[in-house]
């Protein structure tokens, strides 16, 4: 794949990333842990594929918080989620 084609795919992904965060925020707001976990898992994988290592890492950490049984409104989850949102806004 050429660098131009690769950059086009990255740009398309970055354009859709804010929508993914809105959907994730909706799942968090409704306290839907299963949906939140699923979205975080997908985000961790896709962000990693597109070279967004920090976003991928934060999404994976958030998924781990859910898997460990902590609530979506726990301070640890909220702190990591705020960091994820900030990192996405930087992208």
> How confident is the model at residue 36, as a pLDDT?
97
Instruction: Enumerate domains of the chain plus CATH numbers.
Output: 3-90 (1.20.120.160)
Q: Please tell me the distance from the alpha carbon of residue 82 to that of residue 9, in angstroms, as a whole number.
A: 26
> How confident is the model at residue 2, as a pLDDT?
84
> How confident is the model at residue 91, as a pLDDT?
82
Low-confidence ranges of the chain (pLDDT < 50): none
Q: Please tell me the distance from the alpha carbon of residue 9 to that of residue 23, in angstroms, as a whole number.
A: 21
Structure tokens at 33: 């842990």
Coarse DSSP helix, strand, coil percentages of the chain, rounded to the nearest 5 percent: 80, 0, 20
Q: Compute the CA torsion angle 23, 18, 20, 14 (nearest 10 deg).
A: 170
**Residue 74 DSSP label:** S
């Amino acid at each position: 794949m050429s660098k131009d084609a690769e950059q086009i795919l990255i740009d398309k992904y970055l354009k859709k990333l804010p929508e993914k965060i809105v959907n994730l925020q909706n799942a968090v707001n409704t306290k839907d842990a299963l949906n939140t976990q699923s979205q975080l898992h997908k985000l961790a994988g896709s962000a990693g594929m597109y070279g967004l290592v920090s976003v991928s890492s934060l999404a994976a950490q958030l998924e781990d918080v859910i898997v460990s049984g902590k609530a979506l409104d726990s301070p640890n989850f909220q702190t990591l989620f705020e960091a994820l949102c900030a990192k996405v806004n930087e992208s």
